[in-house]
Amino acid sequence: MDRSNDAHTGSVTRECQHRRKKLEGRGYWGTKAEYILTVMGAIIGPGNVWRFPYLCYRNGGGVFFIPYVLFILTCGVPLFFLETAIGQYTNQGGITCWTHICPLFKGMGYASHLIIAFSGTSYIIIIAWAFFYMFSSFTADLPWATCGNYWNTDSCLDFSHPNDSRTIISRVNTTLPVVEFWKHRVLKVSNGIEEIGSLRWELVLCLILSWIICYFCVWKGIKSTGKAAYFTATFPYFMLFILLIRGVTLPGAWDGIIYYVYPDISRLSDPQVWMDAGTQIFFSYAIGFGFLTSLGSYNRYHNDCYRDSFYLCLLNSATSVVAGFAIFSVLGFMTYEQGVDISEVAESGPGLAFIVYPRAVAMMPMPQVWSVCFFIMIILLGLDSQFVGLECLMTSLVDLFPNYLRQGCRRELALLSICSICCLLGLSLVTEGGMYLLQLLDHHVCSGTTLLILSFCQSVSIGWVYGADRFYGNIADMIGYRPFPFMKYCWTYITPFMCFGTFIFSIIKYSPLKFSNTYIYPLWANILGWFIACVSLSLIPLFVLYKIIQGEGTLRQRFSLHCQPVDNLHIQQNCLPPTGTSGSTVNTEVNPLCKTEEVTEHK
């Protein structure tokens, strides 16, 4: 009996020594602040600045907060916590974590990372636009503040010249110079997706610059990512506060704010309102991408990820709400200035950031200085999410091939290859028809249906296959207490129901994609979008089939085998003694995964 115990102890010791070397090579966050700021950067981006305010206005104003808060409580916070806890518990990225938890669903990791690659290729175009605007700000007069430039049309209305007869007689069928700068100078947008047109070389150079910056933010792993987040995650809040103060002091601002928050109760019966609220939560919280799992994997084992998740979700939604006040105060001013209804100036998509905010900074003293600061804010908001996505990809690649990629400069060369390929693919998005392609990718691949299905699969895999009670025990072992049971019921019942219900609504209410509410995408373009979305999602069932075919025994035995977690995962997590908040060592009693763990702390 003693010999068997000695043998078991020796095998565990050897496993711990191997695990210790592996974890030391992988790394942890330098400080808790680095983790918090990096996650802030990942989940708070330009989408908070324009997407949430527009959806709130379009879906009944203040009444939109009802389904929005409901989705936060039933889907947003539970799934945010779930993904973070999986990464922290397994100490693995978004692909290999499923090998340890539930190997049959490893295809979810590959699917989410393919979506990251698509979204990274398209999302960085926003940063390229921001660089273009920032460089254009270094002029005596902001080019979007006045008419008379070579890209302006005869219908351009310049309020800097009050004697203009159109200003006095009629403002109908006129456009602001900031709108014409966006459409005719920056995008030089074509008549449709059928007309790709030529490359916009100025945007190409801005795109290359964006990828170079992203590369050097990520090339040293979390050491460089965490340090960069100290500035990139905090400066945007300073600028947002400045824009909010300026916005509410403009004439007509309060009319815009009333449009933003005025509740239209009748809209609650519209399924589109609920669908928009759900997809906004998944998109804004970066749920389903694997970001949270990869970033959480660099946490210490006993970090309180439950508390972190709650506060980060609260911060994300609060940022969206405050950005709404900032943007609609300026929209109110623009309607006051033009004498038209707000629906004519409240555009969806990037137009809110690249039309409304530039108009606001043009009204400030020393507008060139504020313009540069504002577009630096947009660049930083975009860079945060972009380099976190790259870090997520690299984390998973290094976890898949640790012996190869942790030698010499191989990690840096692999990152360089990924950046170069994505940059080349992104060239199609900086053509004259690139805006149409960008919206097609964003609508079909990078948000909406794909994230709903991934979130549904995550909830089912943890709630029903791995076991919600088992995972709750694992979490209690990590953080030292059992979270509120509502989370467990969300993973098992409520979240899958909400995801599936929202998906059904999206199918019932499906309509062809439109650009600026005027151009309807042709059938072949919608089919292309759905095909790209299905390519990523198909990896989930294909990997299930692959694992079942490769297994041995009956179908039931194969399925049961590939649903089992790694036997020694729990032992591995306790190889390195963690440090408590007071500097003392936390000792955890190790029990089998299938039982409820009892956590004790000795100081």
For every residue of 424-471, DSSP letters joined together read: HHHGGGGBTTHHHHHHHHHHHTSSTHHHHHHHHHHHHIIIIIIIHHHH
In sequence order, what are the residues at sequence separation of 6 or more whose Cβ sits closer than 8 angstroms to the Cβ of residue 538? Answer: none
Residue 515, H or E segment: strand 514-515
**The pLDDT of residue 18:** 52
**The pLDDT of residue 570:** 55
Angle between helices 222-232 and 32-43 (to 10 degrees): 70
**The pLDDT of residue 218:** 81
Q: Are 168 and 337 in contact (CB under 8 A)?
A: no
Q: Which two tokens stand for residue 366?
A: 């020393």
Rounded to an integer, what distance in angstroms lies between the CA atom of residue 552 and that of residue 10?
A: 31
**The pLDDT of residue 179:** 86
**The pLDDT of residue 170:** 52
**The pLDDT of residue 338:** 66
Rounded to an integer, what distance in angstroms lies between the CA atom of residue 197 and that of residue 188?
A: 10
| CA-to-CA dists, residue 414 to 218, 394, 401, 406, angstroms | 12, 8, 11, 11
Rounded to an integer, what distance in angstroms lies between the CA atom of residue 514 and that of residue 526?
A: 10
Residue with tokens 């380099």: 387
Residue with tokens 């994609």: 513
Low-confidence ranges of the chain (pLDDT < 50): 1, 4, 7-9, 11-12, 23, 165-169, 571, 576-603
DSSP 102: -
- What SS3 class is residue 588? coil
**The pLDDT of residue 578:** 45
Rounded to an integer, what distance in angstroms lies between the CA atom of residue 215 and that of residue 590?
A: 41
Return the closest-CA partner of residue 41 out of 526, 391, 384, 292.
384
